[in-house]
Amino acid sequence: MKKLSFHPDDSVNAFITTIPEVSYGDGPLSGVTVAVKDNISTRGIETTCGSKILKGYIPPFDAHVVTLLKDAGAAIAGKTNMDEFGMGSSTENSAYGPTLNPLDHSRVPGGSSGGSAAAVAAGLVDCAIGSDTGGSIRCPASFCGIVGLKPTYGRVSRYGLIAYANSLEQVGPLARDVSTLSRLYSVMTGYDPRDGTSVDRPYSHTPSAEIKGLRIGVPDDFFGEGVNTKVAETVRKAVETLESLGARAEPCSLPSMKYALSACYVISTSEASSNLARFDGI
């Protein structure tokens, strides 16, 4: 086991807890610094979910994904700021103060994994892990100009993730580029018998910039009521760029989209009321 000094200039309040001297081993992620969202259990390191309710709580075990990262040689650098218990989309709703967007301190980094995204975007760590229920990895990655992925449910073990809406949320990676993200993700996807939804199937993917011939579905339903016109224009331009590189955009429809937001609110709030009752006694 080797030691690495870690004293980040955290002017964006990306971290709740940092590890001054981190340890790393041998493996595919040897020496890579990884920040962990503060709702993912880390043995011996305070885990608060961005809440004063859990201040002082130190888990006696690692989440499965943290064990996999350590076994691959990664250095766990600290726990990142988040909207309290994952409820928010801006990382302003933390008991430990808001996280700022490294690209523009007057703007939010997105949420609820804004601390993880900001830590990567600011260059404080090589990569990070977060959790995504309804956009909590994908939005911060977009806001901060990095790469983020919400995995298919069951691909990454949820063991050790402090539940908010357990049938929707997933642990996923964030990094500055696709290659680093793929390296991190390949380690995170190990099977876990303690998670009944865990998929026992090896992950293999070699990132490539070649997209010629790929078909990209563009649902008309994504550009309807409530979508900011500038956002819609930006996405359309991105689709045009993909087409110019040889991909084929195919219009399609997802009629169920009109129910998606309502369904998300019903499922997530009902599950949260059950999962979080253990903390407030209500």
Contact 24, 74 (CB under 8 A): yes
Q: Name the DSSP letter for residue 247.
A: -
Length of the chain: 282
- Smallest Cα–Cα separation from 173: which of 211, 144, 146? 146
CB atoms within 10 A of CB 125: 28
- Number of alpha carbons in the 13 Å side-chain half-sphere of residue 44: 5
Q: Could you give the 3-state DSSP secondary structure of residue 29?
A: coil
Q: DSSP alpha helices (H): ranges in the chain? A: 64-71, 114-121, 138-144, 178-188, 229-244, 257-275, 277-280
Q: Could you give the 3-state DSSP secondary structure of residue 143?
A: helix
SS3 sequence, 98-121?
Answer: CCCECCECCCCCCCCCHHHHHHHH
CA distance 79 to 5: 16
Which of the residues are catalytic? 37, 112, 136
